[in-house]
Structure 1
């Protein structure tokens, strides 16, 4: 089945910590959760919307967060800010999502923010780029600082007089770090344990129908390395980046999962049934019988797109994990019991899930060009997947993949795959990453060009300059065009777009400004210009007339 525009805009769902009334097609990664009631517009207002002109922002290499006409921003929280007497905000914030505390007040709630990784130059006082492997002189104290600055933050924020601010010392404010004990939601211990220590590499995420946060562990092997298999014999390979295994004996198998966080008390669990790989995000759909469908991608060259279908209501444990054969349009079951080729290779279902990448390849899954964020179109029900790039295959600019499930059924085992938009100079964007639909069904998109390749005359990204935020309008004369509406500071990328329940604020992360800095006294960026002369990752609130008009464009036809 599909979802009409009218059904989308007329849904009066309200989400808060006390309710679970989120429309199923909005339980997704980076999407708004609570479209508000649309009011009848006057003839004059409708006419203004029909003639609304969206002015594109030109590409820029300026060290600032630049916004298109009709937008403004203010900083909500940045790295190092105190969120309570005990905790400070972590580093390199990525995914954001917001749940109101009270369904009747969209301006007061809990913001979850991922902290994906650290830059040791700022956290631990050395530049990891100076070393081929993690430097031997790094101390336990330095590693502990790094461990504290990844994971995630829960912060209560309020909007007062048009500005969002952190409610300091609110009882909900807390950090989840690389040292937080987290239960493994599985009946079989993994490496002899039922609890993992910490979460890390937290990239994107989502929310559940029962209003908890999902955070996804992506490049987990940067921290404790990885387990490699040759002739089915396991060997642990050390990390090339942080080398935490020199101080902490935590097995790599405890990382690379989707993690669920309860916003009320910070209780967490890792969902083994969703498989282990570099999860970019986890996008949920709740079926009419309350069973859950979860889409997630493995953000690495030549890896795969996955879908979990639960067999029990409201479960992320009981069910089957599938991987996509996009060439033949089939979902292939990673089911040890019923796949002879998996039985031959692995000893049980637990091992299949831990080694999901190997299992997917044995089944003939289609290698993709870094599947990152996933969103469900709230109007059509189609699934959009960012394929960021694959430089080794000469795909420098990436594309957006569209999945149409057979008969619009999200638990279908067949589908049609096609390219929705390809990146490049002709379309005006490169390296799509995070996606979000607003209340009108307009698609918002961030880009992820690597800092070492941006603004480099020897690389193919010069025309695009800094990473940016784009919108693809669904209605009006600009429908289908890719329009730049924000440009990131130098070396940064914009991540984690999430709309407030009333559609008047876009929460957005500014991640790793000044990342190419090699000398702290001469940073490549000074954003957010708070007087410290140090670039700081931060979460901003983008507001303005443009946001509100984009969220009303659906009413032109309605």
Structure 2
């Protein structure tokens, strides 16, 4: 195990202290934090304490609570149903979070963006599918409207006062983006007859642009309005959705499955067609020296693909080329209709290629991956890290994290080296990696996503891990290279959207879908966060404590 750990530390990659400070591209893009300037640690006594700092590994737990390792504490910031203004409430099933300070000199006051991925009708619209043989026939438009309101995202101003992050209620910047919000398409050609569509949904992870706007990604969009399927003769048919919204609103499936950009101050939104249509888990951006943008995004479905968009103009997410990864040969394959004869044979133009990106990627021979989810850029080495959550159909129950090294470290390179960074499983202490975050010292934080129907069951391979958890892999100090559990989620929940405050002292984290396996609302499987009504509620929490502060300063030991 010691040999593996040494190899693991080397594989992660180290750099001198001068390089360990977050580079300008991550500062501007806000990869997993929006860091303020760090003057480092020079006090000899404090450095000695850091040398003796030991992070305690939290035991796996199936308890219905958010448990934290010693040296950490949390408080809820906002939860489902909380009022953010006189007119709006916080949505359901919060996922990705990110924070932009209103003033770069004040890390304790800013705008928090939060995704709302999907709904559970039992809680949101008082509809229980189990009560009907044909549940779609018994839905009402009022119920669907409630559900449509509860997805999308929330912009809310939060401020830290006396160590507690709180919502600034009725701040003029507080707003909801829902499944009924008008959103423009950033494309020259209309899609299904329009250039403005209704709403965003299935919002999973996201990012921040170099120009300080929010990115939110539409993942499992087909659950809401279904999907268009094509047979071998290119004839289209409609596959019904899980929720059946298409029975009430005739919104084409092609209007969903995109990367969406939100202006934090106005709420104006646009969907970026050039980045392709599929189950986007996230979109992580890198700004080149000439201000062109590179965007990495993964398709979170079994045997789907990793993509990269390279813009041809500064600051554009429209002009440029979308590529898909051949990880076996280390090549980025162009999804360019003009220059790919195999695409011209199948599709009528570039718009159709982008709408049917999955089919196009397979025609080009892209590598099938095991649910490519979150993507983050290592602030020390510049390597790209990609979570492959699992693929049960192929016998991969525990997933892994892939590392991509672009040729010569150039993010616009068309060749790369791919390797397995670390595999999930009992030996390494975690399963089903989902979201990633690098802190200001380059320590890697990992959340897990074991499904609620598989957790804590003796007939499933996930029993040893119990509830979903948050892990960290320290880069420096005596625990360097260890996978350490620092938080355990409530029952049925997963922990998502880790994002550090600009000063590195707070970790914003979503607790999503506690009590998801509930069949009777009067007898929920979870009651977290323990409100008086005993109804489980997703919430964003702020995690603080000496562990986070010391972790962010451990790089000083390498000086």
Work out whether the TM-score is over 0.5.
Answer: yes
SS in structure 2 opposite 1:495? strand
CA distance, structure 2, for counterparts of residue 503 and residue 9 of structure 1: 14
Match of 1:248 in 2: 249
Q: Is the 8 A contact 1:35 1:439 kept in 2?
A: no
Match of 1:207 in 2: 208
CA distance, structure 2, for counterparts of residue 524 and residue 201 of structure 1: 24
Q: Deviation at 1:364?
A: 0.2
Q: Is the 8 A contact 1:29 1:205 kept in 2?
A: no
Q: Is 1:360 aligned to 2:361, yes or no? A: yes
Q: Deviation at 1:43?
A: 1.1
Q: Which moved more, 1:539-548 or 1:229-238?
A: 229-238
Alignment map for 1:94-173 (pairs within 5 Å) = 94-128=95-129, 134-173=135-174
Q: Deviation at 1:133?
A: 6.3
SS in structure 1 opposite 2:99? strand
Match of 1:282 in 2: 283
Q: Deviation at 1:394?
A: 0.6
Match of 2:351 in 1: 350
Give the length in aligned residue pairs: 546
Match of 2:303 in 1: 302
Match of 1:238 in 2: 240
CA distance, structure 2, for counterparts of residue 467 and residue 335 of structure 1: 40
Structure 1 vs Structure 2 CA RMSD = 1.4
* Closer/same/farther in 2, CA of residues 60 and 270 from structure 1, 3 Å limit: same
* Closer/same/farther in 2, CA of residues 202 and 27 from structure 1, 3 Å limit: farther
CA distance, structure 1, for counterparts of residue 293 and residue 111 of structure 2: 24
| Runs of 5+ consecutive residues of structure 2 not aligned to the other structure | 1-12
Q: Is the 8 A contact 1:26 1:376 kept in 2?
A: no
Q: Deviation at 1:132?
A: 7.2
Which whole-Å deviations, capped at 9, do the CAs of 1:90-115 have from their partners, x for residues lacking one?
00000000000011100000000000
Q: Deviation at 1:35?
A: 4.2
TM-score by length of 2: 0.96
Q: Deviation at 1:373?
A: 0.2
CA distance, structure 2, for counterparts of residue 10 and residue 439 of structure 1: 7
CA distance, structure 2, for counterparts of residue 452 and residue 91 of structure 1: 20
SS in structure 2 opposite 1:136? helix
Alignment map for 1:12-23 (pairs within 5 Å) = 23=24
SS in structure 1 opposite 2:147? helix
Which whole-Å deviations, capped at 9, do the CAs of 1:4-57 have from their partners, x for residues lacking one?
55445546x8xxxxxxxxx21356686012243233321111111111100000
Q: Which moved more, 1:448-457 or 1:42-51?
A: 42-51
Alignment map for 1:166-205 (pairs within 5 Å) = 166-205=167-206
* Closer/same/farther in 2, CA of residues 518 and 30 from structure 1, 3 Å limit: farther
Q: Is the 8 A contact 2:17 2:558 kept in 1?
A: no
Q: Is the 8 A contact 1:120 1:146 kept in 2?
A: yes
Match of 1:468 in 2: 469
SS in structure 2 opposite 1:135? helix
* Closer/same/farther in 2, CA of residues 432 and 95 from structure 1, 3 Å limit: same
Which whole-Å deviations, capped at 9, do the CAs of 1:404-457 have from their partners, x for residues lacking one?
000000000000000000000000000000000000000000000000000011
Q: Is the 8 A contact 1:30 1:95 kept in 2?
A: no
Alignment map for 1:461-500 (pairs within 5 Å) = 461-500=462-501
Q: Is the 8 A contact 2:30 2:210 kept in 1?
A: no
TM-score by length of 1: 0.96
CA distance, structure 2, for counterparts of residue 203 and residue 8 of structure 1: 32
Q: Which moved more, 1:273-282 or 1:2-11?
A: 2-11
* Closer/same/farther in 2, CA of residues 69 and 132 from structure 1, 3 Å limit: farther
Match of 2:385 in 1: 384
